[in-house]
Amino acid sequence: MKRAIKLTVLIAAETILVMAGIMALVLLFAPGWHNTLDMRGDAYWKLFFLHQSSGLHPKLQAFWQHEVHPTLGWVPKKNFRGGGPNNDSETTNNRGHRASMDYAPHPEKYTVVVLGDSFTYGSWAPDREVWPAILQQLDDRLHVINLAVGGYGVDQMYLMLRDTITEYKPRLVVFALISDDLNRSLLSFRECRKPRFVIGNNGELILANTPIGDLGDTRKRLKDQYGLLLARFRLEHENRLFLQRVRSGEFDREWKALNEKIIESAFRCAGDHGSEFLLVHLGSGPEITHQTTGEYFPAQAEKFCAKVAQKFHIPYLPTRKAFLEAGENWTGGHYGAPEARFVAGLVYDRIRQMPSWRE
C-alpha cells in the first residue's frame, strides 16, 4: 500500500514537472507571448532575442538586413534591397550605407557624415524619403554620407564615427539622436550583444563586451547563462534587480555621466580630425505628436543634450519645439516624408550657419 502511494506521488511529481516545463516553453515561445520587462534593461532584449530565435520564430527580425560586427554589434548588409510594402524601398550601397548609389569620394564638395539610428537610417521609408537623402537634394555642393544604423545608441554612433572619420574626412559631423538612444548606451544587449562603454578611474571611456560573436555564439551564451526552461523566470529576476537600480537613482547617475562622456568624446574626435560637429536632438513619438499648452517644457533627453552642448561649447540643434510650433499632424512612428523633409530643412539651415560652410 505504501509503495503504491509513493509511486502515485512520484508520478504526480513528474507530471507537475513536465507540465511546468511545457508552461515555461509556452510562456517563452508561444506566438501570443508578451514581453513585460523594462526596455531600458538588458533582460528585456535577451528575452526578446530568445523568443525571436526560437523554433517558432527561427529568423531574427533585425538580421534580415543586418550582419553582426565584432565591435559595433551589427551593421547593415552591403547591397541590400528590401523592406516596405513592396519589399524594395530600402537600399544600401557597396559600403552598407543607406544610399541608392555606390560610394565615391567628392573632395571638392562639402562632405557631411551623419550618424544616427533608424530615424536617420530611414527604416521602412523609400530611399527618396530619408532625411539625409533629402538634405543631399537641397544643395548640390553637399556630399552627404548616411552612416546611421537602426537600433544604435549614442555609444555605437561614436564608435562608427571613430572607425570612419579618417577615411571620409568630413567637413561636418552630424550626430543625430532620439531620446531613447541615450538609454541604449547603458545596454550590453539589444538586437544582439552590443558594445558597452564604462568610465574608468581616470574618467576615460573603456570599451567592454567586445568582440561580438556571431548569432550562434550569442544563443549559446544565453543558453549557458539562463538555461532554457527557466530563462524567462531568471530574466524576470534580473529585471527586478535592474528596477532596483532605477529606483535608487544609480541608473540615472550613470545615464548622465556616461552619455555626457560619449558625446564629448565624439565632439573631440571630430575636432581632432579637423571636422566641425553638430549635435542634433530629433523629436519623435509623443514628443512631437502631443501638443503642449502654455510654457514649453523640454523633454529630459533634449534638456540633457542642451546642457552637454553648453558645457563643451558644442553646436546644437533641437527639433522638438520646431515640430510642435509647425502645428502639423506628425507621425508617432518612424519618420515619413513630411517629417524627413522638415528635419532636412532644419539641418540645412543650421549647416549654412557653420563656419566651415561660410568659408
The DSSP bridge pattern shows strands 110-115 and 81-82 to be unpaired
Contact (Cβ atoms closer than 8 angstroms) between residue 76 and residue 99: no
User: What are the b/e assignments for 310-349, b being 16+ CB within 10 Å?
Assistant: eeeebbbbbbbeebbeeeeebeeebbeeebbbbbbebbbe
**pLDDT tens-digit map of 314-350:** 999 999 999 999 989 999 999 999 999 999 999 999 9
d(CA 315, CA 235): 41
Residue reference for cell 550562434: 216
**pLDDT tens-digit map of 126-155:** 999 999 999 999 999 999 999 999 999 999
Contact (Cβ atoms closer than 8 angstroms) between residue 68 and residue 215: yes
Contact (Cβ atoms closer than 8 angstroms) between residue 176 and residue 188: no
d(CA 174, CA 115): 6
Q: What is the pTM of this model?
A: 0.89
DSSP for 28-83 reads: HH-TT----S-TTSHHHHHHHHHHHTSSSS-S-GGGGSEEEETTTEEEEPTT-EE-
Residue ranges per structural domain of the chain: 38-353
CA distances from 275 to 65, 110, 125, 190 (A): 31, 11, 29, 31
**Confidence at residue 31, expressed as pLDDT on a 0 to 100 scale:** 40
**Confidence at residue 297, expressed as pLDDT on a 0 to 100 scale:** 60
**Confidence at residue 139, expressed as pLDDT on a 0 to 100 scale:** 98
Backbone angles phi, psi at 271, to 5 degrees: -60, -40
Name, in order, each residue with C-beta under 8 angstroms of 38's C-beta and a sequence gap of 6 or more: 44, 239, 242, 243, 246
**Single-letter amino acid code for the residue at 268:** R
- Within the chain, how many helices (H) and strands (E) appear? 14, 11
Q: 38-353: what CATH class? A: alpha beta
For the chain of 359 residues, list the mean pLDDT of each consecutive stretch of 10: 56 56 51 78 94 64 86 96 70 94 94 98 93 98 98 98 97 98 97 96 96 92 90 95 98 98 98 98 92 61 97 98 94 95 98 94
